[in-house]
């Protein structure tokens, strides 16, 4: 169930490090919103698909919790964050001088104000066209060989200067990592991202 934008369903929120993608290694506060209609078979946060009544939190409370931590970087993730109107939350975060990043499949209508948009498209549900121009980073999860061809098709749609990243799907990373390494050596406009938080066992 979707609600108004001044209260949002938070599955979890925590201070940690960004483990993957272009900003890997930076300390950040994560807000994981519940709700996702994409339903990737290999999703590692299936608990985030459904929204429960007791998850709804006022955006003031979300920001208050973030302000207790020393980072200026806030990463909104999910689920699919744009399942909700993120305008009021991101305005409040900007008023509090935060850098606001989002990780999205691009399948829901865009809202809010972000400093960095990581588009992580999924083959299970196509991104909306508007995301291709906005993406600062294109992060494609590679699960099988045909994902390389698909990554190139998506890559042809995003901005020239967007960072292009291939990331192994965690459950097949041992098998797929060598293929990604060979691929980026031949196609150096791509780089590899590993989920370092999983190697480090960081929540």
Residue 87 is classified by DSSP as H
Residue nearest to ligand SF4 (CB): 43
- The reply on whether position 172 binds ligand SF4 by CB under 6 A is no
**80 or 85, CB closer to ligand SF4?**
80
Query: Rounded to the nearest whole angstrom, what is the least distance from the CB of residue 13 to ligand SF4 in the complex?
Result: 16
Q: How far is the CA of 65 from the CAs of 6, 71, 103, 146, 174, in angstroms? A: 16, 12, 20, 42, 37
Residue 158 neighbours by CB under 8 Å, 6+ apart: 119, 132, 133, 135, 138, 164
The yes or no reply on residue 63 touching ligand SF4 (CB under 6 A) is no
Stretch that binds ligand SF4, among 33-41, 54-62, 86-94, 182-190 (CB under 6 A): 33-41
| Nearer to ligand SF4 (CB atom), residue 92 or residue 128 | 128
Under the criterion CB under 6 A, does residue 192 sit at the interface with ligand SF4?
no
Are residues 184 and 191 in contact, defined by beta-carbon separation less than 8 angstroms? yes
CA R_g for the chain: 16
Cα 71 to Cα 86: distance, rounded to the nearest angstrom: 20
Site string for ligand SF4, 76-105 (x = CB under 6 A): --xxx------------------------x
Site string for ligand SF4, 112-131 (x = CB under 6 A): ----------x---------
Q: Which tokens belong to 82? A: 């744009």
Neighbours of 184 (CB within 10 A): 16
* Cα–Cα distance measured from residue 61 to residue 76, given in angstroms and rounded to the nearest whole number: 15
CB of 70 to ligand SF4, least distance (A): 28
Stretch that binds ligand SF4, among 43-51, 64-72, 110-118, 170-178 (CB under 6 A): 43-51
């Amino acid at each position: 169930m979707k609600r108004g934008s001044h209260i949002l369903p938070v599955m979890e929120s925590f201070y940690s490090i960004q483990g993957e993608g272009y900003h890997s290694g930076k300390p950040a506060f994560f807000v994981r919103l519940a709700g996702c209609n994409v339903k990737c078979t290999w999703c590692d946060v299936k608990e985030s698909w459904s929204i429960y009544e007791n998850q709804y939190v006022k955006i003031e409370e979300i920001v208050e919790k973030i302000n207790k931590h020393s980072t200026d970087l806030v990463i909104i993730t999910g689920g699919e964050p744009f399942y909700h109107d993120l305008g009021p939350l991101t305005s409040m975060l900007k008023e509090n001088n935060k850098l606001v990043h989002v990780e999205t499949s691009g399948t829901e209508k865009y809202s809010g104000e972000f400093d960095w948009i990581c588009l992580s498209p999924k083959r299970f549900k196509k991104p909306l066209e508007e995301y291709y121009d906005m993406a600062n980073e294109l992060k494609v999860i590679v699960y099988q060989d045909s994902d390389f061809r698909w990554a190139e098709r998506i890559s042809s749609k995003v901005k020239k200067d967007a960072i292009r990243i291939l990331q192994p799907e965690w459950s097949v990373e041992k098998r797929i990592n060598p293929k990604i390494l060979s691929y980026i050596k031949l196609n150096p406009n791509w780089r590899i991202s590993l989920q370092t938080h999983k190697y480090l066992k960081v929540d």
